[in-house]
Structure 1
Amino acid sequence: MDQFGFDFGDPRIRLGDWTLSLQLFTFENVYGLDAARLRTSGDDERVETEALGLTWAGAQEKAEGTGGLTVERTEDGIAFTARGTHTKTLRRAKVVLYGLPDGTLTGFHFTDRPIGDGQAFAYPGAVPHAHRVHTPLLFLKTAEGDYFYFQSLESEMRPKTFAVYRDPRGNGTTVELIHEELATRMSGAIETPQWRVGRTADPERIARQHVEHVRKTFGFVEWQSNPLVPDWLKQVGFVAYIHGQHWSGHIFNSYDDMRVLLRRLADRLDGRHILAHLAGWEGRYYWKYGDYTPDARMGGADGFRRLCEEAHELGIHIQTMLGGNCANREAPGFWQWGESSYMRRADGGIEWGNAPDWDTSRAHETSWQAWLNPGAPGWHQHLLGQASDLIEIYGVDSIFLDTDGHWVNDPNYPVFDGFRRLRDTLKQRYPEVMLTGEHWSDGLLAVTPFTHDDTLHNLNFEHLIAPYVRTYPYNSWGDPGRNSSGVFEGGWSAFKPSGDKPHIIPGLVFVDGTLEAAPDAVDAAIAHARRYVANLAR
């Protein structure tokens, strides 16, 4: 974790045992409060501090602007908000807490993680050198077994970063709590939502309160009563994860192969309880993203239509995989809908996302792979149109949005709003169609409560999230025949069966020959599905 090699000179504010400071960030530099122009008032229960000037260069230089903190006691710690003004655009406000004990870090999506040389956690999207968290809550577990918690009581989806490290001068653990304004409304003023920090012996109580807060904020509801979830999906007890065509053009299953597979599965389990998730159905996986139409080598439009029709005759529902924010710049018409829709970071730079080694050249050069903002009119309308065509022409029952958790603070259009509008339009047009996503976060639970994010298979506090979500085997999981991950870029992954939990719908990965190569694993998965279906009726 990068640090300054000098004392930045921040004046510190104290309330009881808590010590804090504030830094403000433009796109050009970082600023502290001017200690010579700092006014503080309050008592043992509340402190208000306001600086009528700022400093930079580690307090060697002065700058115009203001900054302040309001800190109040709570039953187990403190609550505070920060604010600032500057002559230039402010993007972030960082509150630093000092002198905390050593320990390990834990949160909703990961087990205990040592502080080590420093850890950073980002919400809602990943940033370089930071772990992604699904909701802005972090715990520091001490050697004594109690917990410090750090929580943002946010009212919308805006970026948060938590940074935790040991003070290099030996003064305990330092925690940074960083808020970033939505780039679409950044200005010369910034104000954070309320942060709450405290100490507790019962982290589940804090987690439960936090889930209730984000539930009200984003409006997600329990699975069984969720109007986004069609009745047919509530009867699904098995997801057949069928791999089609790899990026290289290698075909695992053609449309006819998929039809045969689904017939054989329907012989063993009522088709009403089967969802067929099709990855690489459109042709070369990822290379054809943005052009979601059937592939000639796999059987063409007629072959895909026969697949969907026969699946429906068997009672099986079809889910097709689309890139929610990713497309090939070589896709037909990209200049019309893609060029104006690039995802951009808050500083205006184009976001290029990840760079898989699709061709195994070890070059990781994927400049053809454009990352697009679903909130941008061009890509939003194209994605909506492509999904609508699949539903209307072929009767596709569910649209899966790949990489929907890839979030950036775009200064042109809010990413999350784009997904919400897509949800609303599809639901209005096609009430029985499901919108599914790769990832989950507190906000995405209100958009895509059906997801294959594999963090949900082994999650801290999962009983608090499970009522609102359903998941199934992830894209990278290996098949039981030869541990192939099919179209997924990893290539190989040890087979593992689905977890036996109510929020995990049993499923299995199918590449070519899986039924013949792993009959025992298929039998076990179908038996698991039958048990799951039996429990649905209770």
Structure 2
Amino acid sequence: MTTPTADLSFDPCDPYFPVPGGGPARWAVQVFTHDNGHGVDPDSAEVSTPDERTVRMCAGRYARLGQQVTGAAGEVDVVVRRDARTLTFQVNASHPESIKSVKLLLRGLPRTALQAGWWSPTTPRGATTVGRFQWTYPGPEWATRWAAAGEGPDSVALSVRDPGVHATALHVSEPPYAGEPITEVVLAAPAHERTQRYQAPPVQVTFTDDTAGLDAALDDHLRFVESAHGLVAWEERVDTPDWLDDVALVVALHGQHWTGHIFNTFDQMAHALKFVADHVDPSRVLAYLPGWEGRYYHSYPHYRPGPDLGGDTGFARLVETAHGLGFHLMPMFGAHGANVSRYAQWHEAAIRNDTNRYVDLVNRPDWDGDRFGEGDQVFLNPGEPGFGRHLTDSISAIVTEFGVDAAFLDTAGFWFNDPRHPLFSGFRTLAATLRRRHPNLLLAAEGWWDAMLALFPLSQQWLGWSRDFRAPRTLTRYARTTGHLAEGAPGPGSTGVHEQGFRPRPAQHPLPGHIAQVSFAERTLAEYRDEIAEICRRADGRIRV
């Protein structure tokens, strides 16, 4: 959950309007441009009821937030329709400036539901969020744009029906001037398409009295997501190799740290796999290789077997040994990361802020321990044609030359509203090209959200292994997940090439759709053989759900 630190320090004084059929629920709307935020000028607002199921509000002018200045140019048209117990809000706005987002504000939602707390499909079972919070899509805290408050009488479900991958926020608070909770749904226009007009995606609010009603509302939302993004049931996917159904364990074999420190050479990785093969059927194991390209992240975005680990010859020997035993191999590639000193074209692909005024510098870990982030790490957009081709061709070359079985895309779950190139379109192109070239190649990603599941049938679970989802079908109906790279190896919990140092390995109890994972850091096999053997045996006997 992300809690924002900024908020208005005054009452925006928004006019609120009724919903069809009456009742306590009321709504308002705000429109945001690059230069300011705007409410509705109440003197220009006309409310009509074309029929008993519809309320329409048309305003011909805006006001500054707080209503101190009214009469600003622009128009907003909101249609609210009721279908049984569901309200659908459709906002259309225009303004002399480019519109960056629209906010729908809701008051009068059932108090009992709000007091019980909000939850999403990936909220831990039995947990809710009460009080002030914000979830943002796409991201780990809001994997699909559906949320519910309560789960008994007077419950409410909220669904955003956006066919694209666009930033959306759910914010709930009770500011001092309100005297009641305000639920905000903020719908951001894609930065590469911002104009003076914006038709926001519909927002649905469903009122129900029981868990069955909430389940029905979620299933209806998932049917929309399936249609919008081409999601199909796990059993119907055509982009998963047959062997993935039998995989019960992912073994992470850490290679070389950013500093150059070596955890395992290619020969040491092969030795570890021979040990694993004594305790679990190798055909049920996916061997994952972070830091195989040499200095982790320092070498990004150039991908060849690291010279210090054994180079091309050592890597080929590892592949031969692994395949001879029956393992499947998955080297790691960076979906965004790049060292500017290694990629001269970085500026053309660097992710830009949403107004295209500067490079958005994100994810700059302290790799060397001096307590400051490294200066030469940038994030690149795979939607930029040059970098997209470079990344695709790099992966394809390793698959062709060495015959690896899968490719893992680091940081793929992070999304940015880049105004020059839509990021998710880049992933679609990458996935389509690689599958055309290598039909049996498994593509996996770090993290997941609904649209990503259509491209990546396997992901690393960045929400934490122990999170037992309230609605696991949101993931497991379509894809599978496994432990994260940063989960520590047996023993003191070294995270290997990752930047989080030492983290105790979490207990991995069987959960639907989750594949067990274990990491090998520097002395894992030498000092924790018995624990590794037990993990392998337990995975081999795991009942897959």
User: Which TM-score bucket, shorter chain as reference?
Assistant: over 0.9
CA deviation string 1:35-65 (max 9, x = no partner): 1111110054210110111122522223211
Q: After superposition, what is the alpha-carbon deviation per residue over 1:195-243, rounded to whole angstroms, capped at 9, x for unaligned?
A: 0112222233322222222122111222232111011222322211111
2:107 pairs with 98, 105, 117, which one? Answer: 98
1:179 corresponds to which residue?
187
Quick one: which of 265, 270, 276 aligns to 2:276?
A: 265
Cα distance in 2 for residues equivalent to 1:434 and 1:182: 30
Does structure 2 retain, via aligned residues, the 8 Å contact 1:98–1:174? yes
Which blocks of at least 5 consecutive residues in structure 1 are unaligned?
126-130
Residues 1:146 and 1:513: Cα distance change in structure 2 (over 3 Å): farther
Output the CA distance in 1 between the equivalents of 2:14 and 2:154: 30
Which residue is equivalent to 1:234? Answer: 245
- Pairing of 1:330-345 with structure 2 (within 5 A): 330-331=341-342, 334-336=343-345, 338-345=346-353
Select which of 26, 37, 40 maps to 1:30. Answer: 37
Is the 1:319–1:396 contact (alpha carbons within 8 Å) kept by the matching residues of 2? yes
Q: Distance in 2 between matches of 1:178 and 1:106?
A: 18
What does residue range 110-509 of structure 1 map to in structure 2 within 5 Å? 110-111=123-124, 112-116=127-131, 118-125=132-139, 132-141=141-150, 146-169=154-177, 171-200=179-208, 201-202=210-211, 203-331=214-342, 334-336=343-345, 338-348=346-356, 349-363=358-372, 365-455=373-463, 457=465, 458=467, 459-509=469-519
Letter in 1 for 2:29: L
Q: Secondary structure at the match of 1:253?
A: coil
Aligned-pair CA distance for 1:469? 1.2
Query: Does the CA contact (< 8 Å) of 1:230 and 1:433 recur in 2?
Result: yes
Deviations 1:482-525 (Å, cap 9, x if unpaired)?
A: 22111111111112243313412222111123233223322322
Looking at structure 2, the residues matched to 285 and 109 of structure 1 have their Cα atoms a distance apart, in angstroms, of 31
Aligned partners of 2:280 and 2:536 also within 8 Å: yes
2:17 corresponds to which residue? 13
Asked whether the equivalents of residues 407 and 444 of structure 2 are also in contact (C-alpha less than 8 Å), the reply is: yes
SS at match of 2:375: coil
Determine the structure 1 residue equivalent to 2:6.
2
Shift in CA distance, 367/110, structure 1 to aligned 2, threshold 3 Å: farther
Per-residue CA deviations over 1:78-129 (Å, capped at 9, x if unaligned) read 211111101110110111112332422211222434444x21111114xxxx
Q: Which digits, 9 at most, give the CA deviation of each residue in 1:123-156, with x for residues without a partner?
A: 114xxxxx731111122238x7653222101112
Q: Aligned letter for 1:511?
A: A
Distance apart, 1:249 and its partner CA: 1.6
Looking at structure 2, the residues matched to 449 and 535 of structure 1 have their Cα atoms a distance apart, in angstroms, of 16
SS in structure 2 of the partner of residue 82 of structure 1: strand
TM-score, structure 1 as length reference: 0.93
Whole-angstrom CA distance in 2 between matches of 1:230 and 1:120: 38
Amino acid corresponding to residue 344 of structure 1 in structure 2: R
Contact 1:456 1:462 (C-alpha < 8 Å) held by counterparts: no
- Deviations along 1:247-287, whole A, 9 cap, x unmatched? 22211111110011112212333322221101111112111
Change (3 A) 1:270 1:3: closer
CA gap of 1:402–1:254, structure 2 versus 1, over 3 A, is: same
Q: Among residues 67, 72, 75, which one is paired with 1:63 in the alignment? A: 72
Q: For residues 312 and 420 of structure 2, what CA distance do their matches in structure 1 show?
A: 37
Q: Which moved more, 1:432-441 or 1:9-18?
A: 9-18
SS of 1:392 mapped into structure 2: helix
> For residue 211 of structure 1, what is the amino acid of its counterpart?
L
Question: CA shift at 1:3, angstroms?
Answer: 2.6
CA contact (8 A) 2:364 2:378 kept: no
Secondary structure at the counterpart of residue 479 of structure 1: coil
CA distance in 1, matches of 2:351, 2:99: 21
CA distance in structure 1 between the aligned counterparts of 2:527 and 2:234, rounded to whole angstroms? 35
In the alignment, structure 2 segments of 5+ residues that lack a partner are none
Q: Greater CA deviation, 237-246 or 95-104? A: 95-104
Confirm or deny: 8 A CA contact 2:187 2:200 kept in the other structure: yes
Label 1:95 to 1:449 Cα distance change in 2 as closer, same or farther (>3 A).
same
**What is the alpha-carbon distance in structure 1 between the residues aligned to residue 397 and residue 448 of structure 2?**
26
- The structure-2 alpha-carbon separation of the partners of 1:485 and 1:456, relative to structure 1 and needing over 3 Å to count, comes to closer
Tell me, in whole angstroms, the C-alpha distance in 1 between the residues paired with 2:237 and 2:479: 10
Amino acid at match of 1:148: V
Amino acid at match of 1:427: R
Structure-2 separation of matches of 1:464 and 1:372? 29
Partners of 2:534 and 2:84 in 1: CA distance: 51
Residue 451 of structure 1 aligns to a residue whose secondary structure is strand
Greater CA deviation, 381-390 or 49-58? 49-58
- Report the AA paired with residue 325 of structure 1: H
Matched position secondary structure for 2:307: coil
Aligned partner of 1:128 in structure 2 is none
Instruction: Report the alpha carbon displacement of residue 368 of structure 1 after superposing the two structures with TM.
Output: 1.0
Q: 1:535 to 1:195 in 2, by over 3 A?
A: closer
Q: Percent identity?
A: 31
CA deviation profile, 1:290-314 (whole Å, cap 9, x unmatched): 0111111111121111111211122
